[in-house]
Structure 1
Amino acid sequence: MINLLSLTNINKKYGSHEVLNFREWKIDNGIHWLKGGNGTGKSTLFRIISGQTPFKGEVELNGINLKKEPSNFRSKISFAEAEPQYPLFITGNELIDFYTETRNAQRKQADELADYFEMSAFINNKIGSYSSGMLKKLSLICAFIGNPDLYILDEPLITIDVASADKLYHLINEKATQGKSFLLSSHQEVSNDKLKLDALFQIIEKQIVKL
């Protein structure tokens, strides 16, 4: 059996500051939660897995190696950053069009997601006019466009209201029943009655520990 995600001999430094250093971490299908405070390396780990930052070591998703087949690897992953940075002069609609085209997705799917997160009324406004909560919901809409195998959501609960968080929980659980997998991070606690977690991890002293 091939593990969904496999990381081996990972080392990441920013200058002389070492952030991550571990030999192996493997996860199978399911919903996986990486908890911990700011500065522990969660976002760095997610950027490594999504191919957004250089690193030493190897990352594979269902046998596809990130460094050997970067385009194929990235097509299987959707990554939503904790604090998304989008061009302020474009509209939400233009950003969604970009994601829809890049991921060969149906526009209907994007429209349904915008309705689901109650963003349809603001979708033609420039991103520069969005509140932090609206910006976060836009990033979640973009994250769920397409049909990836693994969704990586960094701090998905920050800045969104309780009702939107509940909608996100429902969407994650629904996708999981369809065989999709999730890697989530948060320093906030999540109750198992809202999200059916398969595993809980924490980065301790540059290594990933199962809790």
Structure 2
Amino acid sequence: MMQVRDLTVQYGKSFAVKGVSFDAEAGNILSLIGPNGSGKSSVLKSIVGLVKPVQGKIEFREKEEGNFNSKIGYMPQAPLFPKNVKVSELVDFLKRLETSDPKEFQELFDLLGLKDYENVKFGSLSGGTKQKVNILQCFSIRKPVYIVDEPTASLDPYISNLLKEILLRKKKEGALLVFSTHILNEVEEIADRFLLMSEGSLLIDDSPQNFVKSRDKGNLQNTLMEFWNSEYLEKR
């Protein structure tokens, strides 16, 4: 289990996250949604250790000995590999970086269709192909937790669907997956719970199915629009 308590992130004089608390269980998929600037990425980066909160704590129960950050797979929104490094060189580096199952690694490499790009420098790849490399570096090694920021950005429908299958497979293996997205049908398809954030605050913590059923609006997008217009904006 991951427990986040009173998480507060500040950049200069501005608060990006304001006292956010939630729990997340292993074997579950948790989605963070909300407008741009709502604090989603700051929450994810705090979990990974890339941002130091000014207040609050993040704890992992039943964790293994050692630095837990090394047990987290992280897929940032924009991969930052050196532009002049070939895909084949990145693959060799990833294989040496941590112990991986060679068969599992090769299977994911093949599924992503990266063989055709082995001799291409990372900086010359399209945005979608860069994201495929990003998927490979995150999911080629088994981890207890995966943090994924805007996972389907720049991906074609085939790879987007493949990534959803990867997330569901990791869930079945018992991993905790936390991902942010603007695509609400992804949340309905695969998320066990979602957190709606706005201006650094947590507004809703619920399952997509329960939230939609409680308001009888057909789907998550319509239900959130009703909440946003009739409850949230009116109370501001």
State the match for 1:86 in structure 2: 81
1:47-86 equivalence runs, <5 A: 47-56=45-54, 57-64=56-63, 72-86=67-81
Aligned positions, number: 203
Contact 1:31/1:181, CA 8 A, preserved across alignment: yes
Letter in 2 for 1:43: S
Change (3 A) 1:55 1:63: farther
Equivalents in 1 of 2:20, 2:181: separation in Å? 23
Give, in whole Å, the separation in 1 of the partners of 2:52 and 2:188: 37
Q: Deviations over 1:137-166 (max 9, x none)?
A: 110011102110111110011100001111
Letter in 1 for 2:43: L
Residue 109 (structure 2) pairs with residue 111 (structure 1): no
Residue 167 of structure 1 and its aligned partner are, at CA, apart by 0.8
Residue of structure 1 in register with 2:133 after alignment: 138
Instruction: Give the Cα separation in 1 of the matches to 2:177 and 2:168.
Output: 10
C-alpha RMSD of the superposition: 2.0
Q: Which residue identity lines up with residue 33 of structure 1 in the other structure? A: S
Larger Rg: 2
Stretch deviating more after TM superposition (26-35 or 101-110):
101-110
- 2: CA distance between counterparts of 1:119 and 1:144? 14
Distance 1:97 1:31, change over 3 A: same
Which of 19, 43, 46 in structure 2 is aligned with 1:22? 19
**How far apart in 1 are the matches of 2:20 and 2:33?**
20
SS at match of 1:202: strand
After superposition, the C-alpha distances for 1:188-207 in whole angstroms (9 at most, x for unaligned) are 11256742x21011113422
**Structure 1, gaps ≥5 residues long:** none
Instruction: Name the aligned partner's letter for residue 61 of structure 1.
Output: F
Please give the residue correspondences for 1:57-206 in structure 2 after superposition, counting only pairs within 5 Å.
57-64=56-63, 72-191=67-186, 194-195=189-190, 197-206=191-200
Measure the CA separation in 2 of the matches of 1:22 and 1:42: 13
- Structure richer in helix, relative to its length: 2
Secondary structure at the counterpart of residue 156 of structure 1:
coil
Letter in 2 for 1:60: E
**Is the counterpart of residue 207 in structure 1 residue 207 in structure 2?**
no
Q: Give the match for residue 9 of structure 1.
A: 6
Identity across aligned pairs (percent)?
Answer: 25
CA separation in 2, counterparts of 1:124 and 1:148? 29
The residue that corresponds to 2:230 in the other structure is none
Tell me, yes or no, if the aligned pair for 1:100 and 1:146 is still in contact at 8 Å.
no
SS at 2:51's partner residue? coil
Shift of 1:72: 2.0
CA contact (8 A) 1:96 1:110 kept: no
